[in-house]
Chains A and B, each alone.
Chain A
Amino acid sequence: MALPLAAAPTRAMALDFSDVSLSFALKDRLLPVLDGIDLSIAPGSFVALLGPSGCGKSTLLRLAAGLERPTRGEVLEDGQPIQGPDPRRILVFQDPTLFPWRSVWKNVAFGLEARGLLPAEKGRVDAALALVQLGGFADAHPHQLSGGMAQRVALARALVNDPELLLLDEPFGRLDSLTRLTMQTELLALWRKVGFTALMVTHDVEEALLLADRVIVLSDRPARIEAEVAVDKRHPRRRDDPELIAQRRFILEKLGFGAEV
């Protein structure tokens, strides 16, 4: 089912946060959002980020995408400080943010067009659309899509660029549970095949455990790393695996849901 977007495995990127803090300047005060984040992500690994709402998960991804600068510390790509956005690091935003004036096909083609690659690589746009099962909607406009479809288009728009680092901000948040399962499987297959580095924010502990090698739990704002769980189960993983269930319990406790769940 997975489509060969990249002919050969992509180079994967190493991502390092070294003592990263970030505060936003509000009108009358500073809002500390990230506080001394130290995180080394090896090339080709799949890391999931969990944390309470508003703790700074999206901000962390924006840092890696080069859309924000840390107030203190450094964010490094392959050992070099990140200077700004680069299509080797692509962020799938929490909100799909499709360009409403472009058709679905042209939305997906945006990155290739921006880099002048589109004439040679039209087939990849079709492949990416097929991957998210929206081949039939190539000519539709974003306002004609459901929320979940829009999110899948946003995913295709990122994947088509063969990123070395894929940053995902709750990419399946709006999908129904069945589509979600399919998309998780597809993403996993693609990641294993192509081998990019993946950093995914999710609010779903189970999803994190099913997909990632490492699950990072962040504290409330300002976010610090609260706990880290290594998941070394082989894929495909079963959600009723006793080891995963134990880890799930541990993570939920760290998130402050000890007794209830």
Chain B
Amino acid sequence: MAEIAGSGLAEAGSVAVAGRHGVWRDGWIASLAWLAAAAITIGLPDVIPWGSRDLFGGLLLSGAALLALLTAATWRRGGPGERLRHAGPWFIALGVWLALWELSTAKLGWLPKPFFSPPQGLLHVYVTDWQRLGICVLYTLRLWSIGFAAGVAVGFVIGVGLGWSKRFAYWGMPILKLIGPVPASAWIPCTFFFFPTTFHASLFLVALASGIPVIILTAAGVEQVSRAFYDVARTLGATERFLVLKVAIPAALPNVFVGLFMGLYASFAVLVVAEMLGAKYGLGWYLQFQTAYSAYVNVYAALIIMALLCAGLVKLLFLVRDHVLDWQKGII
């Protein structure tokens, strides 16, 4: 009986393995979808010219070719091709999406200029304006990284203080509750007065946006630490300082990371406002500048860069978290 069940399992297993290692059907479909998008882009005329049409068509063609190549290469092989296979449905969706996007904007004009743009319009922005965009990215990264780092560092310290010390919390919590919900733009008059340069004022806004969630979650995290941990630590001879550094903070770290993620998103959301303060470059500045000229294509192009930057930083933060909180693996 057990043997029969065993062989049945083995068979089921081998079927699954064959399915996994057989033809990567999604790969061929994706390649075809991309080919179709390329054909639409190059073959049909644009209602109004957008520029970079052939470049975009060429890119789509290369994409289709690359997908075909990869599909052929992952033929009956597991291992590294596994992740590619996993992404298969996304490649298909992307191809279909690009084809539909092309049709509804450039080819049929259902979604008109200047509110909408076909993909080659965005590509055209990158091709023609890449220098300025590059500088903007660097400026934004400088503003963001200094502001975020400062906000997080100060926020963490304040959060630990609020969570640990009753007296600090007595004064600090009401103030925090008051200033927490104030929108960033409301600070602009004050910041102009208090900070020597507009760059410092912008830094302050970014730091504030990233710091407040970190404060709130760190304080909550420290407050929630089980009293039993402190009891154990105190009987083992821990001083107050040791309790904070080696019990309260490590126990609160999972919460702190939630605060960091929230702070990261908040800091990106505030970039536009922060770069309103007389910045000469920066993605936020670029967004406003181009909006003023109704150059929405440029706005979209910059938004995409911003979204990718933010997603990349979130990914980075996840890696840091998994490394720092590796003790949580298997608990959650």
- Give A residues with C-beta under 8 Å from B: 62, 65-67, 84-87, 89-91, 93, 95, 97, 99-103, 110-111, 113-115, 141, 143-144, 157-158, 161
How far apart are the CA atoms of A236 and B236 in the complex, in Å?
A: 31
Of B228, B235, B239, B251, which contacts A101 at CB under 8 A? B251
Residues of B within 8 A of A110 (CB): 233, 236, 238, 246
B231 in contact with A114 (CB, 8 Å): no
Residue of B nearest to A111 (CB): B236
The answer, among B232, B253, B327, for a CB contact under 8 Å with A97, is: B232
Assess whether B242 is in contact with A99, with CB atoms less than 8 Å apart.
no
B81 CB–A CB distance under 8 Å: no
**Interface residue from A62, A91, A95, A161 paired with B237 (Cβ < 8 Å):** A161
Asked if B229 is at the interface of the complex by the 8 Å CB criterion, the answer is yes
Contacts of A67 in B (CB 8 A): 231, 234-235
Cβ of B235: which chain A residues have Cβ within 8 Å of it? 65-67, 85-87, 89-91
B247 close to chain A: CB less than 8 A:
yes
Report Cα–Cα, A91/B237, bound state, in Å.
11
Instruction: Specify which chain B residues have a CB less than 8 angstroms from the CB of A111 in the assembled complex.
Output: 236-237
The 5 closest A-B pairs by CB, nearest first: A87-B237, A111-B236, A85-B234, A114-B238, A101-B250
Bound complex: CA of A103 vs CA of B326, how far in Å?
Answer: 11
The complex places the Cα of A103 from the Cα of B247 at a distance, in Å, of: 14
Question: In chain B between 245 and 274, which residues have their CB closer than 8 angstroms to a CB of chain A?
Answer: 246-247, 250-251, 253
Asked if B196 is an interface residue, CB under 8 A from chain A, the answer is no
Complex Cα distance A103/B238, Å? 18
Complex-state Cα separation, A65 to B233, whole angstroms = 12
B331 located at the interface, meaning its Cβ lies under 8 Å from any Cβ of chain A in the complex: yes
Partner of A114, one of B229, B246, B327: B246
Contact partner, A93, options B228, B242, B250, B325, Cβ 8 Å:
B228
Chain B nearest Cβ from A140, distance in angstroms: 10
Q: Are A144 and B330 in contact (CB under 8 A)?
A: yes
Selected A-B contacts with CB under 8 Å, 17 pairs: A66-B235, A67-B231, A86-B237, A91-B235, A99-B250, A99-B251, A100-B327, A100-B331, A101-B325, A101-B327, A103-B327, A110-B236, A111-B236, A111-B237, A114-B246, A141-B327, A158-B236
